[in-house]
């Protein structure tokens, strides 16, 4: 993995929009061609939204790239359990991790004292 860039996002509902903007600017600055930028943006949006809704404090966003994937990492101070919802319970929310699981090559959670980092690897092409 090369070049990891980090941003601190406000812990409010503007954070997902900010994350999408950061991602677009990051790709443009690097000249990185993403064949499906909407997929990468959707995964980033879902990870950041989960952090804002279910954790507390600032939300960290890190982006890195290798030859085949973009890795997104979202760090927060929450300690709740993460599990994708089956999506068939009729609730209007709760599908974020199911979407991440469907679109990412791989994803996971690293727990640490005082919080966690949820990461997802999304293909470049």
What residue segments make up the domains of the chain, in order of their start? 2-123
Domain 2-123 sits in CATH 3.40.50.1820: no
Q: pTM for the complete prediction? A: 0.88
Q: Which residue stretches of the chain are H helix?
A: 15-30, 37-54, 96-103
* 96 neighbors 46 (Cβ within 8 angstroms): yes
Does residue 91 surpass a pLDDT of 60?
A: no
The arrangement of strands across the sheet holding 59-65 comes to: 2-9, 59-65, 69-76, 115-123, 106-112
* Greater model confidence, 27 or 90: 27
The band of 45, judged by pLDDT with boundaries at 50, 70 and 90, is very high
* Greater model confidence, 12 or 34: 12
**Helix, strand or coil, per DSSP, at residue 22:** helix
- Determine how many CB atoms are found less than 10 A away from the CB of residue 91: 9
* 70 neighbors 40 (Cβ within 8 angstroms): yes
Q: What percent of the chain has pLDDT over 70?
A: 86
């Amino acid at each position: 993995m090369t070049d990891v860039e980090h941003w601190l996002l406000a812990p409010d509902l503007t954070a997902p929009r900010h994350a999408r903007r950061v991602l677009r600017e990051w790709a443009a600055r690097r000249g990185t061609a993403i064949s499906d930028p909407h997929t990468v943006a959707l995964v980033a949006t879902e990870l950041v939204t989960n952090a804002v809704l279910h954790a507390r404090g600032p939300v960290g966003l890190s982006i890195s790239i290798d030859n085949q994937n973009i890795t997104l990492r979202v760090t927060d101070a929450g300690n709740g359990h993460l599990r994708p919802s089956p999506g068939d319970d009729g609730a209007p929310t709760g599908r974020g991790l199911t979407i991440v699981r469907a679109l990412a090559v791989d994803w996971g959670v690293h727990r640490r004292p005082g919080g966690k980092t949820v990461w997802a690897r999304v293909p470049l092409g």
